[in-house]
Amino acid sequence: MNAESNKEHPTVLVVDDEQIICDLLRTMLSSAGYKVITATGGREGLALFCQQRPRFTLLDLRMPDMPGINVLKEIRKVDQYASVIILTAWGTDELESQARKLGVTDFLSKSMTFDAIMASTERVLQREAPAPAKRAAFGSGTAVPTAMAEEGAILVVDDEPQIRDVLAQSLTRLGYRVRAASNGPEALASVEQEKPALIILDMYMPGMNGNEVLKQLRKMMYKNAVILLTASQDQQVLKEAWELGVLDVMGKPLDLERLALIVRLGLQVKRQ
């Protein structure tokens, strides 16, 4: 039988057709001590639910192969008491009403911060599971010395609020001071106000891409490390970024443990 038996490490199922959402939720929940399995489609999620019988399911409402509300109906046929939170970037009163009639534990917007999502999941999980030991969000790395954290903030620049949230919260848990910007002009204004110790910069943002931001940073004589985030494999764009002096280029979905190491490296370069 595949049903979960270890209550100290309850299984959480995340079902969302956006791979980055699955990855971010896996990172956040795993760092809190939970075993996380993910599916990027409704049918796959339903199959995993039947096989694994997770303690808790976080379910996207809108998926191309099988809508979340249909997945929820099938889950109720298997287990009418299973804990399920609907997670969605959109919704209607009618859909929310259907979901609540089917006994969802909560109904959360993707625009909410990850702290809010974590709080909702933990309210459910802690009914039966003991509170897990708090760990750093980037694996089991040690906390950053206070002196390093006080040298300057890390500026996170990304137009996707979920990515900004998880990076800011994870870096903060490691002991860094963090500021955030949602686009290039906002980032440049933030740099003018207070020069950050390091910048984590998304390549593709509306209005002003990462390379354009880098060019402006160089004109401002900003010399601290910049880590570029991108889902693109455009070699010309990446070549330009390297020529503009980025410390590293990291692909999406993010490898958060590797990012933590690069951040530490970037701050050490600054200190030398």
What are the tens digits of pLDDT across the range 61-105?
888 899 889 999 999 988 888 889 888 765 556 777 777 788 887
- Which amino acid does the sequence have at 113? T
- β-sheet bridge partners, residue 154: 178, 198
Task: Return the percentage of the chain with pLDDT > 90, whole number.
Answer: 35
The pair of three-digit structure tokens given for residue 200, joined into one six-digit string = 């984590």
> Does the fold of domain 146-271 match that of domain 11-125?
yes
Domain ranges of the chain: 11-125, 146-271
pLDDT at residue 252 greater than cutoff 90:
no
Select 11-125's CATH number: 3.30.70.20, 3.40.50.2300, 3.40.50.2000, 3.40.50.300: 3.40.50.2300
Looking at residue 61, its pLDDT comes to: 85
Mark out the alpha helices in the chain (DSSP H runs).
19-31, 42-52, 68-78, 93-101, 114-125, 146-149, 161-173, 184-193, 210-219, 235-243, 256-271
* Residue pair 133/33 in contact by the 8 Å Cβ criterion: yes
Residues 6+ apart with CB under 8 A from 17: 40, 41, 60, 62, 63, 64, 65
Mean pLDDT over 156-172 rounds to 87
Mean pLDDT across the chain: 80
- Is the pTM above the cut of 0.85? no
pLDDT at residue 129 greater than cutoff 50:
no
Instruction: Compute, in degrees rounded to 10, the torsion defined by CA atoms 22, 23, 24, 25.
Output: 50
pLDDT at residue 254 greater than cutoff 70:
yes
Neighbours of 92 (CB within 10 A): 9
Q: What does the alpha-carbon distance between residue 115 and residue 78 come to, in Å, rounded to a whole number?
A: 30
Pairing of the two strands 225-230 and 248-251: parallel
Q: What is the DSSP letter of 141?
A: P
Q: Which of 30-39, 141-150, 220-229, 242-251 has the lowest mean pLDDT?
A: 141-150
CATH class name, domain 146-271: alpha beta
Looking at residue 164, its pLDDT comes to: 87
The pair of three-digit structure tokens given for residue 216, joined into one six-digit string = 């402006």
pLDDT at residue 126 greater than cutoff 70:
no
pLDDT at residue 24 greater than cutoff 70:
yes
Q: How far, rounded to the nearest angstrom, does the alpha carbon of residue 60 sit from its chain's CA centroid?
A: 15
